[in-house]
Chains A and B, each alone.
Chain A
């Protein structure tokens, strides 16, 4: 107790300058993120209401196609397709692509077609990766609006109706849906991801939408205008194809929207190892696509320079990349300067961020209208530590592996034949 009291005394006894010197990392890398979030929440309601009014206008005569591309998804595809049949919007076509599946997915897809639950299935004997499968499905469909979903997702009754509604605005090329974790109860890691999805998608994308900077139309649930997809040639090869497509659509002048009330449920990794592997891919792709494939978008003077995209990339550079790189420097310097007192500093940071996260959670519950506050409240301190230290560490490893070791060139998300020719 004496140690704790002396630590608190030390914290409260700091001058402004020394306080800043002690907590500079949090003040630089965390607080601005929260500040942005709160702005989003303050603005979000009004934007949401306006958007809802607009989005419910009917899209007369437009055809909607839902494409489901999967590899070895025999167990998941039926639930996905059945939940698509429970939609308020009816009359859309469903196309399933079995991308070189070695399980019974092709047979299941054919059965769904013969039962009238899907309109057609295309079976590929050789796996070509999700982007190629989605491109083929795009060619095989005739919808004016294309909704891409993952096999392991299921949907609220109004999801399809609401995700295509923003496309009534002809300047909008793509709409991202909201993604909610379905298996949050299965493990602590899954619970942390549920909170993370809520804050970074359900809440953060509302803010992004308000400033016309929705970062990524998630591959799990996104709607596209066919003209927009044709404009950019559909998906490109390689992993992170959803983020890549979003960047290219925006660079081509299309607006990207977020439909917060179009809810899709998905399963997230339940073990730390599975989570680690998934994030290694996501974060690695993120840096590879931003600073290798699309570097020129953020370089003033480049022929492809795009201010909106540049802001987006600089934002990532400032808060994402530097945040991850500075974390070990900050922690190391804390221990070097203060010894064990560094632990007190880190604890203090965690407590402070937890407080902010509790507020975020409360506001998320208000914005989404879902009962998410009480069930998640006790996990907030754990989530805060996990998010601030573990996630950032994983990000740093992923960035390093991608930048120096070209990890994505070895990632089996894309089949070897595709990786061998991927040139960015």
Chain B
């Protein structure tokens, strides 16, 4: 797996030179032009090494490095290599000890820089951790650490998670990890709204064992093996899934796809945190998923089996209801249950408390002492007395108080809802596996180029001239799942539109944009000349309320070109 390097350099020329040299060595290179943006990027925690020019604007190199040490876990600070024209000056500064792992004096030799970088990266804790984690996952049968979306975002054990999963956001996510209990609602959102159907949910908390696809509360070999098996199973089945179900648009399709991938029924489970008190395995919510599954059942794609019946608040539809005994008159729950005493001799019959006097039982009517149970008196029943209104009844009423909206419903008026578990029918399985495409692997699960672009590519390639060659760029958004979880799909789409608008405004040439569900394709001439640095992309998302973290992939059009040339040759 390539290491990620951040170049912090305000001189464009030097920045480009360093970048080219490092990229040629296979590193993933990002750049920042000043101390503040560098700090922002570094704090994301996904860099293995930072090459920091000592003299940069805003916050200088040493100050940036010291801030990093101040505010980041030691384990997650990347290796820091300073580039300075005056190493003496740096050494003279107070507090420089231990801040930088290496110093490269200017003017530098690129070969020397590469050597230092290579040495530092191999010595970096993240490299060591990555290597160890890769080794661990390989030992249980995965090719590398699974790319993960971790919820909640601000998890306290980020360093540990980074050593287990690939959290850099540069690969399509393969698993969803619940690192803390509070993350379950994010998972639910991802399941129902984002394209994460192919990701099994790994529970690190041990609180969602039934809802999750696998649990990893300790890192014993058996547990890791089980996670690896589930991840592989999802990936293997994803390949068998018909294309239209890989990025399903509707909740019904998501449910079907998930059931197929997990190989499990849509199992209803008791879940107190949810308003409906029920969730389905895979974190699907009960009222939404139930409606969708019912519709699928009507279409013969699912069968259902009864799970339970829950009571539902007529006002807010919550099932978080307190069922209680209450006074039939005033509906108060402040009841006292008492034994009745029947004094045979005078026929006085009243609650025991009326008879009790200094540990003795004295009949309030005839003042005789009750001495012998069965001869003097007996206790023929109980009554429930309301402490609020004083009413007396043998049987209190049953009523429900909604925990969510506080409304009261009588026991005989409460609505109820049947909850079912659902199973795939053979018809659904056949539909889910129809049109099996060419085999794809977990390493390349990105969707193919949409057919609608192909024609435009061919046309554009046909008109190619030297110096004005067709380029095709794919933009995906690494933070899409988190943004969707927070803002919903429409919120994400709005941000995406603004981002594209910003980007197109900064490009001088004519560009055609094709948008897929989660990807945008930019087709234009010599695009790579204009979009060289990620700063441009960063600039385009500066005004957005959420970071989209665009990831660029240049699509190699050489095979297309060759085909066109071949055809031209054939034609001539």
Judge: A and B partners, yes or no.
yes
List chain A positions with a Cβ less than 8 A from chain B: 100, 106, 110, 113-114, 119-129, 131-133, 135-136, 139-140, 142, 233-238, 241, 417-418, 420-423
Give the Cβ gap from A52 to chain B, nearest Cβ, in Å: 35
User: Residue of B at shortest CB range from A139?
Assistant: B350
For residue B383, CB closer than 8 A to chain A, the reply is yes
Chain B residues near A128: list those with CB within 8 A. Answer: 342, 344, 347, 349, 378, 380
User: Residue of B at shortest CB range from A98?
Assistant: B394
For residue B182, CB closer than 8 A to chain A, the reply is no
For residue B440, CB closer than 8 A to chain A, the reply is no
Of the listed stretches B156-164, B191-199, B273-281, B385-393, name the one at the interface; the rest are far from the partner chain: B385-393
Chain B residues near A422: list those with CB within 8 A. Answer: 345
Q: Are B378 and A417 in contact (CB under 8 A)?
A: yes
Chain A residues near B350: list those with CB within 8 A. Answer: 135-136, 139
Q: Are A237 and B328 in contact (CB under 8 A)?
A: no
Q: Are A233 and B381 in contact (CB under 8 A)?
A: no
Q: Are A131 and B375 in contact (CB under 8 A)?
A: no
Q: Are B342 and A113 in contact (CB under 8 A)?
A: no
List chain B positions with a Cβ less than 8 A from chain A: 328-329, 340, 342, 344-351, 354, 365-366, 374-376, 378-381, 383, 390-395, 397, 412
In the complex, 12 of the A-B residue pairs with CB atoms within 8 angstroms, ordered by the A residue number, are A113-B395, A114-B412, A123-B394, A128-B342, A128-B378, A133-B349, A135-B349, A136-B340, A139-B350, A139-B392, A234-B348, A423-B345
A135–B391 alpha-carbon span in the complex (Å): 16
Q: Are A237 and B347 in contact (CB under 8 A)?
A: yes
Q: Are B344 and A420 in contact (CB under 8 A)?
A: yes
Q: Are A233 and B366 in contact (CB under 8 A)?
A: yes
User: Residue of B at shortest CB range from A419?
Assistant: B344
Q: Are B349 and A421 in contact (CB under 8 A)?
A: no
Chain A residues near B380: list those with CB within 8 A. Answer: 100, 124-128
User: Residue of B at shortest CB range from A233?
Assistant: B365
Chain B residues near A234: list those with CB within 8 A. Answer: 347-348, 365
User: Residue of A at shortest CB range from B411?
Assistant: A114
Given A119-B329, A237-B346, A420-B375, 13 further pairs, Cβ under 8 A: A120-B329, A122-B383, A123-B381, A124-B342, A125-B381, A128-B349, A131-B347, A135-B348, A135-B350, A139-B351, A140-B383, A237-B345, A417-B378
Chain B residues near A127: list those with CB within 8 A. Answer: 380
Give the Cβ gap from A236 to chain B, nearest Cβ, in Å: 6
User: Residue of B at shortest CB range from A134?
Assistant: B347
Q: Are B345 and A122 in contact (CB under 8 A)?
A: no
A339–B196 alpha-carbon span in the complex (Å): 117
A363–B350 alpha-carbon span in the complex (Å): 46
Q: Are A122 and B346 in contact (CB under 8 A)?
A: no
Q: Are A135 and B345 in contact (CB under 8 A)?
A: no
Give the Cβ gap from B339 to chain A, nearest Cβ, in Å: 11
A236–B346 alpha-carbon span in the complex (Å): 5
Of the candidates B354, B379, B394, the one whose C-beta lies within 8 Å of that of A121 is B394
Give the Cβ gap from B96 to chain A, nearest Cβ, in Å: 83
A114–B395 alpha-carbon span in the complex (Å): 10
Most buried by A among B349, B365, B380, B391: B349
Give the Cβ gap from B179 to chain A, nearest Cβ, in Å: 51
Of the candidates B342, B394, B412, the one whose C-beta lies within 8 Å of that of A132 is B342
A133–B378 alpha-carbon span in the complex (Å): 13
Chain B residues near A237: list those with CB within 8 A. Answer: 344-347
User: Residue of A at shortest CB range from B412?
Assistant: A114
Q: Are A129 and B347 in contact (CB under 8 A)?
A: yes
Chain A residues near B395: list those with CB within 8 A. Answer: 110, 113, 121, 123
Q: Are B344 and A120 in contact (CB under 8 A)?
A: no
Give the Cβ gap from A228 to chain B, nearest Cβ, in Å: 15
Q: Are A417 and B344 in contact (CB under 8 A)?
A: yes
- 8 closest cross-chain pairs (CB), A and B: A126-B380, A237-B347, A131-B347, A136-B349, A140-B392, A124-B380, A123-B394, A132-B349
A127–B380 alpha-carbon span in the complex (Å): 7
A241–B349 alpha-carbon span in the complex (Å): 15
Give the Cβ gap from B340 to chain A, nearest Cβ, in Å: 7
Give the Cβ gap from B464 to chain A, nearest Cβ, in Å: 85
Q: Are A421 and B375 in contact (CB under 8 A)?
A: yes
Q: Are B345 and A233 in contact (CB under 8 A)?
A: no
A417–B392 alpha-carbon span in the complex (Å): 26
Give the Cβ gap from A248 to chain B, nearest Cβ, in Å: 12
A119–B330 alpha-carbon span in the complex (Å): 12
A126–B342 alpha-carbon span in the complex (Å): 10
Q: Are A120 and B347 in contact (CB under 8 A)?
A: no
A236–B349 alpha-carbon span in the complex (Å): 11
Q: Are A236 and B347 in contact (CB under 8 A)?
A: yes
A309–B376 alpha-carbon span in the complex (Å): 31
A124–B381 alpha-carbon span in the complex (Å): 5
Q: Are A418 and B344 in contact (CB under 8 A)?
A: yes
Chain B residues near A420: list those with CB within 8 A. Answer: 344, 375
A110–B383 alpha-carbon span in the complex (Å): 13
Give the Cβ gap from A84 to chain B, nearest Cβ, in Å: 18
Q: Are B393 and A122 in contact (CB under 8 A)?
A: yes
Of the candidates B347, B378, B392, the one whose C-beta lies within 8 Å of that of A135 is B347
User: Residue of B at shortest CB range from A417?
Assistant: B344
Chain B residues near A139: list those with CB within 8 A. Answer: 349-351, 354, 392
Chain B residues near A132: list those with CB within 8 A. Answer: 342, 347-349
Give the Cβ gap from A301 to chain B, nearest Cβ, in Å: 26
User: Residue of A at shortest CB range from B377?
Assistant: A417
A377–B393 alpha-carbon span in the complex (Å): 49
Q: Are B391 and A235 in contact (CB under 8 A)?
A: no
Chain B residues near A135: list those with CB within 8 A. Answer: 347-350, 365
A129–B349 alpha-carbon span in the complex (Å): 11
A133–B391 alpha-carbon span in the complex (Å): 17
Q: Evaluate whether A126 and B378 lie within 8 angstroms (CB atoms) in the complex, with A120-B328, A233-B365 already known.
A: yes
Chain B residues near A119: list those with CB within 8 A. Answer: 328-329
Q: Evaluate whether A122 and B381 lie within 8 angstroms (CB atoms) in the complex, with A234-B365, A420-B375 already known.
A: yes
A383–B135 alpha-carbon span in the complex (Å): 112
Chain A residues near B342: list those with CB within 8 A. Answer: 124, 126, 128, 132, 136
Chain A residues near B392: list those with CB within 8 A. Answer: 120, 122, 139-140
A125–B349 alpha-carbon span in the complex (Å): 13
Q: Are B347 and A235 in contact (CB under 8 A)?
A: yes
Give the Cβ gap from A41 to chain B, nearest Cβ, in Å: 38
Chain B residues near A418: list those with CB within 8 A. Answer: 344, 347
Give the Cβ gap from B397 to chain A, nearest Cβ, in Å: 8
A276–B347 alpha-carbon span in the complex (Å): 27
